[in-house]
Structure 1
Amino acid sequence: MSSRAASAPADRPTAEPAAPPASVHDARRYPVPPAFAARANVTAADLAALPADAQAFWEQQAHRLPWSRLWASVHEWVPPSDDDPASPRATWFAGGALNASVVCVDQHVAAGRGDRVALHFEGERGDRETVTYAELQRRVAQAAHALESLGVTAGDRVVIYLPVLVETVVAALAVARIGAVHSLVFGGFSAEALRFRVADTGARVVIASDGQFRRGAAVGVKRIVDEAVAGLDHVEHVLVVRRTGEADVPWTPGRDVWWHEAVDAQPEQHAAPELDAEHPLFITYTSGTTGRPKGVVHTTGGYLVQASWSHWAAFDAKPDDVYWCTADLAWVTAHTYVLYGPLSNGASIVIAEGSPDHPAPTRHAEIIERLGVTVYYTAPTLIRTFMARFPEGFPASFDLSSIRLLGTVGEAINPEAWVWFHARIGGGRAPIVDTWWQSESGAAIVATLPGVHEGVPGAAGVALPGLRVRVLDEAGADVAPGEGGYITIEGRWPAMSRTVWGDHDRYRAAYWSRFPGLFFAGDGATIDERGYVRLQGRVDDVINVSGHRLSTIEIESTLVAHPLVAEAGVVGVADAVTGQAVAAFVVPVSAPVAAGAEELDVAAWRAAAADARAELAAHVARVIGPVAKPRHVLLVPDLPKTRSGKIMRRLLADVLDGRELGDTTSLQDESVVPAIATIARG
């Protein structure tokens, strides 16, 4: 993930493709503002003084957390071996004990910070709620008692299928408090996608809602839950949050329980058990772009150490910050940089239900101004949307001067979008923290420390302390600076996933078999002399045109730099002469049809593409070279994306090549692909 939490690489390596090409690097540089550097959590002097040894570094950071029992060993590792089916396996801080809920809530109340705001909730209907740490502690305690009353014990799995609500945060922390294992599922997923995750985890309880608000309309979802759990005998209870007040909620007596009836009368104190550092904390599912989604398992101690430190260091966490990471709570970014990282540091976070452009396209600007948001961390997909809608930035009537730091995560951020974000949202003064990591890494691997490293548009940054990345060629040798290759992570790190739920062989094959001793992330990248990494996309997204290896990210960035283009997805499609040809799916800044049109006007979209094709193809040829010139240019209303904002490029290729679509359970909007297919095929 170039500034994204990427999906996993293919389960088993197939043919060995040549390494991706070098990028066209953006030459612009943005030094750290001196005033920011002077009060940064990590300065250049601090960075130089950190332990050079990774284990010593992470042990130093572990002491930031309130352990109930210290560890016997910092790190142990058994490398992959065909003779040992349990390999590879890692432990961090083995013998130590702590509780994630205590780390994120109780410690702050005990320190006299109970009156500090823990979270600001922004409902889609305009309803709002502010919750202090003391109130959060009471609500988590009650929910923990309720789960125990339903028979949930340590090690049981609980699937949480909710929109972004206060109850979603409370539920996750309550599950963690009693030692159960949570798996959050995006509230917009289909019954099929939900069922897979409930069945795969063997969940004992599913927490859901009666309905959800979607762009102003109340939509019942309990029927989706009932369909998903039908016939799954291991599901003993469905705990239902009343959100929309649906009048006719389908109900199974004995199984279904209202949240308010189960929770509200419970005691407001709960004794949190000590949990081993290697106790499972949560299961998060990869996006499924390369086959059946994997349930990636993260444990408690090491994950919390890295989540907490990386949030404090990379996002320069201050006591008076109002911190907003816009990720849906079901995405791994929200686990680490909405819940466990920020709350462990006593942050005041913002969570917002619903769409960023409902009820108005300026909704985010209004929230930033009203709450005085100081740190704003969002996805390039949303940045590009704002950039297309507000080329000069949000209307001047909105005051965004509270923002002191920006962050980006989700998809590769194009240099032009980076520059717009810096100038129009950050006022030219706020550093941007780009982040590269993935569900499997658990926390940021590559980023910039905002008080130390200058900003480079299109570059994710450098390996953070305690970590090392290498970019290798197909033979496993380090590439020269600026040359394309495969990005890998050397060594181990505390937040690393420990296994794939129920399939350790898949874990070993997917991540540890490509390059011996190295974690294979599945992305192409370059690295320069200073260690700055630029991501080129998934290695299976590289296009081979007459033997030339072309990066999809490079072509997409070039297209987005054109004033006609809001967003672009580029794939390789079969070509009898060149092997593959470049196909560009372009979301235009101005749609060729009237806003709000219900019927897809295929003729209008095709005519607009015919008008733009030559200009866009010539633009790519001029910037990158004739070999990168798209053979196909299609204008489309939207691109198929996961909820994390990652473009599912393989679906675009499937459409043009006429193949049967693979797994689509992670799509944010399942109507997008049929619309694209209609435009492409007629």
Structure 2
Amino acid sequence: MSDSLAQLIDTPLRPLRQEWLVPERVEQLRAARALTPDDYWAWVAGQLRWSRPWRTVRTGELPDARWFEGGLVNVADNCLDRWAEDPATADRPALLWEGEPGDSRTYSYAELTAESAALAAGLRDLGVRAGDVLAIYLPNLVEAFTAIHACNRIGAIYTVLFAGFGEAAVAARLVASRASVVLVADAVYRRGKPVPLLDTLRAARPPGVLATVVVDRTGSGVPLRDGEHGYRAVCDAGRGGTPCVPLDPNEPSFLIFTSGTESRPKGVVHSVGGFLLGTWANAHWQAGYEPGDVYWVAADVGWLTFPIQAVVGGLAGGMTIACYEGALDTPSCARFYEICEKHQVSKVLAAPTLLRMLRRFGDELAVAHPLPALKLITAQGEPFDVDTFDWASDTFGVPVVNAYGQTETGSTWSYPVYGAEPVKAGSAGTAVPGHTFDILDDDGAPVPDGVKGNLVLTSAFPTLARTVWHDHDRYLSSYFGRFPGRYATNDEAVRDADGHLWVLGRADDVINVAAHRISTMEIEAAVTGHPAVLEAAVVGIPDDTKGTVPVAFVTLRADAQVEQVRAELDRRVAAELGGYARLAAIYPTPVMPKTRTGKLMRRLLRDVLVHGHPTGDTSAMEDPTALDTVLNAVARE
């Protein structure tokens, strides 16, 4: 283990400031931790509305556990109807939406319920029935919320396609999901211009898609073709609405695809009741509804975090959700601050990359926009470096919570609970109630605290994905083949002496340098520890002598002396990790390719070095020009 990583793990706990403590949450968390996992999930189920009571909490073990047998429940009923029916909450804003051009809309719980119910009835008129698959090819629009809950309302299975996907990626997912209907916008505004989605869908649409519902995002009145229906016309046809269908909590709710077009798309299936319960609990502990809150999940609806925290978990908790369509640096670097000010945002969730971006924009911008309403920043999806953690905490003066989870787990399950627990910069806290984990060596034996190993979940929990769509054998082999009876995250991790979890990255990101195994995150920890480095990505590339060697891409402070920093990084990595981990090359670049959710696309960096061009799907990339910048950085050396 590197010196930098060891120092992080040895960092003392940081108690919450007195003004950040929420005593009732401390007591509630203490009571929840005293329960067995099954009793805890029974408590969670009791926070929600059931159409028919369940008989048993759980039957079976991993990977075949079933939950709340005998019960019937509906996700839309819990996220929308129960709030709309209560006079005390019917007029509460459910959604504060803002488009990149500056247009905005506000929907109360009553209004969002009515439009979603109308859409559900209209979809039924088009022939959509329970168990049918509907693809949602939309950016962050109000219609993404209404479409998801229209499907939830009638028991249709939805799959959200990232609005940045190109023709090949869309076609592959439509074929794999067997979608019969697609809901799409004519275009999405991104970085000041409309990006056509309907044209892409028309080119990608396989024969199995029988109908398309088109949202006129641009207001251009796009002419519709055979089999295409206007979103507003569909809603108008279903104006009377349709009731929520009571569903078995173990039935499929939606699919989400986890692989690119370079391999067979893998549609992970989440269940109706499991996802609802887990996301309610996730939003409750990680963000926590407080009267007057506005919760902004600054992510794309195509990243599962958005449905978890906003569309399902946030609304199930009665929160007011802020939703933004476009790029957070458009039309200016102040856009993030302006949205927070305009909508009085009190809690923000984002990838750590957003905070690194704000830090790069400068302290002057933060001083000009003090954000007095802000109470919490929570981050997930990428390793969270200490410098950025400290900057965010000091700059905004609010608790910063780092969380860990996966698409397959359906929620984040390890983090310091907001308002109740101390933090460690960079760690993912401890497992929240209802979850147990262990760290194993390659033979499946538990390792001591402070020792790296394979992160596994050891007990069943309802939010875990139930299968891979039409390929259950793939589900079993991918997640339970290596460590039977335990869910393999395929991540490496360390648990420290305080029980805090440190996730080191994908096990397949571990590189073998001259017979020494090392995680690329360990090298990144050493690189980002340099005060001149704002961001770093380390990848392994083939080497005739050593097998694999590490290479770093770095974004530096504007005043950094490049050659001096190069020399210092070379010495730093060798001193902390050993000469075998010495960086074979260091490429300074002002930007790196990222997804819209802020995740660094390390595979593209590796492709640039190994092949000179990307070899896989690039449609998820936020800014295509970033790849050109990286190619130029490599060419200059």
Scaled to the shorter chain, the TM-score interval is over 0.9
Answer with 124-133 or 308-317: which moved more.
308-317
| Residue in structure 2 matched with residue 23 of structure 1 by the alignment | 5
CA deviations over 1:227-286 (Å, ceiling 9, x no partner):
110xx2221111110011346x46422x11111122135324421111111121111111
Paired residues, what number? 632
Q: Unaligned 5+ residue runs, structure 2?
A: none
Name the structure with the higher helix share.
Answer: 2
1:403 and 2:374 matched? yes
| Residue in structure 2 matched with residue 107 of structure 1 by the alignment | 82
1:330 and 2:302 matched? yes
| Residue in structure 2 matched with residue 603 of structure 1 by the alignment | none
Q: Secondary structure at the match of 2:341?
A: helix
CA deviations over 1:150-186 (Å, ceiling 9, x no partner):
1111111111111111111111111111110111111
Deviation at 1:194, TM superposition (A): 1.0
Q: 2:415 aligns with which of 447, 467, 470?
A: 447
User: 1:324, 1:233 → 2: CA distance?
Assistant: 38
1:237 and 2:211 matched? yes
User: 1:623, 1:325 → 2: CA distance?
Assistant: 37
Tell me if structure 2 keeps the 8 A contact 1:157–1:181: yes
Tell me if structure 1 keeps the 8 A contact 2:539–2:605: yes
Deviation at 1:609, TM superposition (A): 6.2
User: 1:408, 1:365 → 2: CA distance?
Assistant: 17
Deviation at 1:671, TM superposition (A): 4.9
Deviation at 1:327, TM superposition (A): 1.3
TM-score (norm. length: structure 1): 0.88
Q: 1:252 aligns with which of 225, 231, 234?
A: 225
User: 1:244, 1:45 → 2: CA distance?
Assistant: 46
| Residue in structure 1 matched with residue 133 of structure 2 by the alignment | 157
Q: Which amino acid aligns with 2:596?
A: R
| Residue in structure 2 matched with residue 314 of structure 1 by the alignment | 286
Structure 1 residues 456 and 154: CA distance shift in structure 2, 3 A: same
Deviation at 1:438, TM superposition (A): 0.4
User: 1:477, 1:114 → 2: CA distance?
Assistant: 53
User: 1:23, 1:528 → 2: CA distance?
Assistant: 11
Deviation at 1:669, TM superposition (A): 4.1
Structure 1 residues 20 and 262: CA distance shift in structure 2, 3 A: farther
Q: Which amino acid aligns with 1:436?
A: Y
Counting only pairs closer than 5 Å after superposition, residues 91-490 of structure 1 correspond to structure 2 as 91-112=66-87, 113-229=89-205, 232-246=206-220, 249=222, 251-253=224-226, 255-288=227-260, 291-390=263-362, 392=363, 394-425=365-396, 427=397, 430-490=398-458
Deviation at 1:290, TM superposition (A): 8.5
User: 1:119, 1:202 → 2: CA distance?
Assistant: 31
1:545 and 2:521 matched? no
Structure 1 residues 589 and 645: CA distance shift in structure 2, 3 A: same
Give the structure, 1 or 2, with the largest relative contact order (CA under 8 Å, sep 6 or more).
1
Structure 1 residues 519 and 387: CA distance shift in structure 2, 3 A: same
Q: 2:30 aligns with which of 47, 54, 75?
A: 47
| Residue in structure 1 matched with residue 554 of structure 2 by the alignment | 586
Q: Which amino acid aligns with 1:312?
A: H
Q: Which amino acid aligns with 1:100?
A: V
Deviation at 1:586, TM superposition (A): 1.6
Tell me if structure 2 keeps the 8 A contact 1:306–1:443: yes
User: 1:499, 1:535 → 2: CA distance?
Assistant: 24
Structure 1 residues 276 and 679: CA distance shift in structure 2, 3 A: same
User: 2:103, 2:199 → 1: CA distance?
Assistant: 25
Structure 1 residues 94 and 348: CA distance shift in structure 2, 3 A: same
User: 1:36, 1:289 → 2: CA distance?
Assistant: 45
User: 1:670, 1:356 → 2: CA distance?
Assistant: 16
| Residue in structure 2 matched with residue 517 of structure 1 by the alignment | 485
Q: 2:20 aligns with which of 36, 46, 60?
A: 36
Q: Which amino acid aligns with 1:201?
A: S
User: 1:260, 1:108 → 2: CA distance?
Assistant: 24
User: 2:237, 2:129 → 1: CA distance?
Assistant: 20
Tell me if structure 1 keeps the 8 A contact 2:187–2:218: yes
1:508 and 2:479 matched? no
Q: Secondary structure at the match of 1:586?
A: strand
| Residue in structure 2 matched with residue 676 of structure 1 by the alignment | 630
User: 1:320, 1:395 → 2: CA distance?
Assistant: 23
Deviation at 1:471, TM superposition (A): 0.9
Tell me if structure 2 keeps the 8 A contact 1:161–1:206: yes
User: 1:523, 1:290 → 2: CA distance?
Assistant: 21
CA RMSD between the two structures: 2.4
Deviation at 1:571, TM superposition (A): 1.1
Structure 1 residues 591 and 225: CA distance shift in structure 2, 3 A: farther
Tell me if structure 2 keeps the 8 A contact 1:211–1:245: no
User: 2:24, 2:616 → 1: CA distance?
Assistant: 46
Matched residues, percent identical? 35
1:577 and 2:560 matched? no
User: 1:591, 1:265 → 2: CA distance?
Assistant: 61
TM-score (norm. length: structure 2): 0.94
1:71 and 2:54 matched? yes
Deviation at 1:612, TM superposition (A): 4.5
Q: Which amino acid aligns with 2:361?
A: R
User: 1:617, 1:389 → 2: CA distance?
Assistant: 27
Structure 1 residues 240 and 190: CA distance shift in structure 2, 3 A: same
Q: Which amino acid aligns with 1:423?
A: D
| Residue in structure 2 matched with residue 12 of structure 1 by the alignment | none
User: 2:176, 2:3 → 1: CA distance?
Assistant: 38
Deviation at 1:643, TM superposition (A): 3.3
User: 2:464, 2:394 → 1: CA distance?
Assistant: 35
User: 1:625, 1:454 → 2: CA distance?
Assistant: 33
Deviation at 1:342, TM superposition (A): 0.6
Tell me if structure 1 keeps the 8 A contact 2:170–2:204: yes
Q: 1:61 aligns with which of 16, 26, 44?
A: 44
Tell me if structure 1 keeps the 8 A contact 2:169–2:260: no
Answer with 616-625 or 524-533: which moved more.
616-625
User: 2:412, 2:262 → 1: CA distance?
Assistant: 22
Structure 1 residues 668 and 218: CA distance shift in structure 2, 3 A: closer
Deviation at 1:621, TM superposition (A): 3.5
Q: Which amino acid aligns with 2:59?
A: E
Deviation at 1:556, TM superposition (A): 1.9
Structure 1 residues 46 and 564: CA distance shift in structure 2, 3 A: closer
Q: Which amino acid aligns with 1:564?
A: A
User: 1:32, 1:434 → 2: CA distance?
Assistant: 14
1:564 and 2:564 matched? no
User: 1:453, 1:287 → 2: CA distance?
Assistant: 35
User: 2:125, 2:559 → 1: CA distance?
Assistant: 54
CA deviations over 1:404-452 (Å, ceiling 9, x no partner):
1110012111111111111113x1xx22221111000001121111233
User: 2:361, 2:582 → 1: CA distance?
Assistant: 27
Deviation at 1:210, TM superposition (A): 1.2
Structure 1 residues 290 and 70: CA distance shift in structure 2, 3 A: farther
Answer with 524-533 or 624-633: which moved more.
624-633
User: 1:138, 1:160 → 2: CA distance?
Assistant: 19
Structure 1 residues 352 and 485: CA distance shift in structure 2, 3 A: same
User: 1:634, 1:35 → 2: CA distance?
Assistant: 43
1:499 and 2:467 matched? yes
Tell me if structure 2 keeps the 8 A contact 1:559–1:568: yes
Structure 1 residues 22 and 365: CA distance shift in structure 2, 3 A: closer
Tell me if structure 2 keeps the 8 A contact 1:20–1:484: no
User: 2:262, 2:519 → 1: CA distance?
Assistant: 18
Q: 2:603 aligns with which of 645, 650, 658?
A: 650
